[in-house]
Amino acid sequence: MSREYPARPIVGIGVAVLRAEPSLAVLLVRRGKPPNMGAWSLPGGAQELGETAEDAARRELEEEAGLRVGALHLVANVDSIHRDPDGRVRYHYTIIDFAAAWAGGTPVAGDDVTEALWAPLDRLDEYALWSEAHRVIGIARGLLGC
């Protein structure tokens, strides 16, 4: 199924990875492909056929940022619907977001992202994140006790 003008929503997976030390931060990636090319977001991507949501989260995290994490916690679902000028649905993702605590390693951009970094939570406004990303990060903080 094509991601552009799909026949039905595509399941997307996102991961809010939080790091407590040396300062409180969240892992962000800069998108290298549409939709949202050039925008900062939580790492993630499309779930593959036969793959569990948690396996997809781990795969996407490793592909996009080169990181692995321990326990994953279900955070939220988010609908990302993009319409073209004629009102037709160009992209439609139903995103399942997880939270995880950083266990080690340095983020390295890979796959379909151009950058991966630790963004200080007190400076998230600098990254022009989607409001839903802020919501997911807030819930993740509560779940992980950060």
Sequence ranges of the domains in the chain: 10-144
Under CATH, which number does the domain 10-144 receive? 3.90.79.10
The predicted-structure confidence for 62-105, as pLDDT tens digits, reads as follows: 999 999 999 999 999 999 999 999 999 999 999 999 999 999 89
> Residue 53: what pLDDT?
98
Whether omega for the bond prior to residue 22 falls within 30 degrees of 0, making it cis, is yes
Q: Report how far residue 122's alpha carbon sits from residue 48's, in angstroms, rounded to the nearest whole number.
A: 34
- CA neighbor of 136 nearest in space, from 13, 10, 36: 13
Q: How confident is the model at residue 34 (pLDDT cuts 50, 70, 90)?
A: confident
Question: What value does the mean pLDDT of the chain take?
Answer: 95
What percent of the chain has pLDDT above 90? 88
